[in-house]
Structure 1
Amino acid sequence: MDRQSPLDSMESWFEQMSKQFETAADRWGTGIEPWGEGMDQPRIDLAEDGEQYTIVADIPGFGKDDIEVYVTDNTLAIEAEQREEMVTEEANYIQQERTHQSLSRRITLPSDADTDDISASMADGVLTITVARVEPLDSGHQIDIE
């Protein structure tokens, strides 16, 4: 009688795991690639001057009606979702990838950001958000030790 050892199938098991890791790496990336089609976070630039913060986000392919910008608990959220209508006429697609696209990004605002004074504009796939700055409520003070 021929007994099968658990070690006999170990090589095929490692090959299967290796293929799964390669598939996952192809799908998710290594984490160091820049944002590109199919990824879920836009790249941003955050700048400041004495009066405001400016956030510029690249959101190609989205219109301003596809995008929501809101603030909750001093966190600025950018969310976008776009659904393409499926073609109902007879079509012989070889590949169809444009049916749904979404992204989101959360940015913690600095403590001197005025969350009541925020504006946003969109042009050519670039979202620009300005957040006014306020003077800190308390600049601090010395505490005497008893």
Structure 2
Amino acid sequence: MRRNPFDEIEELLDRVSRQVEEGMSAGGLQVPGTVPIDVADTGEEYVVTADLPGYETDDIDLTLSEGSLRFEANRTDEAQHADGRYLRRERTKTSASRRVRLPEPVDEEAVAAGFENGVLTVQLPKESGGEETRHIDIE
């Protein structure tokens, strides 16, 4: 007996739906070129944590402007391997960026940032702040 082609389509759609749901429950679907982040509200401050593996502190530009935290990470592409040519090369991404809109004003003078083991952590104490752009140093 021959299978109904609509059954195959329905199975395919069910499988795709499950994969999307699994991706969303695992923290969301990652868009290429963006940085995966967590934003926590501790009551007194927002804590933004971002994964930036393979970058150095000097590669990251972190700014706070008009209620948004923005970070951009850029690194130069590594030269071809000294021992020969690549058989496979997947680590060519050299830049990433993300903008996080904060739900409440923060004390711009008290913002602190640290970078350790490829993880950027920004602490943004809540309070009313100014409208100008402020560059944030990473310790």
| TM superposition score normalised by structure 1 | 0.59
For structure 2, the residue ranges without an aligned partner over 5 or more in a row are 1-19, 130-139
Instruction: Return the letter of the residue paired with 1:117.
Output: A
Deviations 1:104-135 (A, max 9, x none): 00011123322232111011111100001116
Q: Which residue of 1 aligns with 2:85?
A: 92
Identity %: 32
Moved over 4 A (4+): 30-33
The CA RMSD over aligned residues, in Å, is: 2.7
Which residue in the other structure is 1:16 paired with? none
SS, match of residue 60 in structure 1: coil
Distance of 2:128 and 2:76 partners within structure 1: 42
Aligned-pair CA distance for 1:89: 5.4
CA contact (8 A) 2:44 2:126 kept: yes
AA at the equivalent of 2:121 = T
Choose from 117, 122, 125 the match for 1:129.
122
* 1:86–1:99 Cα change, 3 Å: farther
TM-score (norm 2): 0.62
Q: Runs of 5+ in structure 1 lacking a partner?
A: 1-29, 137-146
Aligned to 1:68: 61
Distance change in 2, residues 1:89/1:75 (3 Å): same
Quick one: distance in 2 between partners of 1:88 and 1:94?
11
Which has more strand, going by share of residues? 1
Instruction: Give the structure 1 partner of residue 4 of structure 2.
Output: none
Larger gyration radius, structure 1 or structure 2: 1
Partner of 2:37: 44
The number of residue pairs the alignment matches comes to 105
Q: Which residue of structure 1 aligns with residue 11 of structure 2?
A: none
Look up the equivalent residue of 2:115 and give its one-letter code.
Answer: M
Does structure 2 retain, via aligned residues, the 8 Å contact 1:86–1:99?
A: no
| Aligned residue type for 2:30 | W
Higher RCO (C-alpha under 8 Å, 6+ residues apart): 2
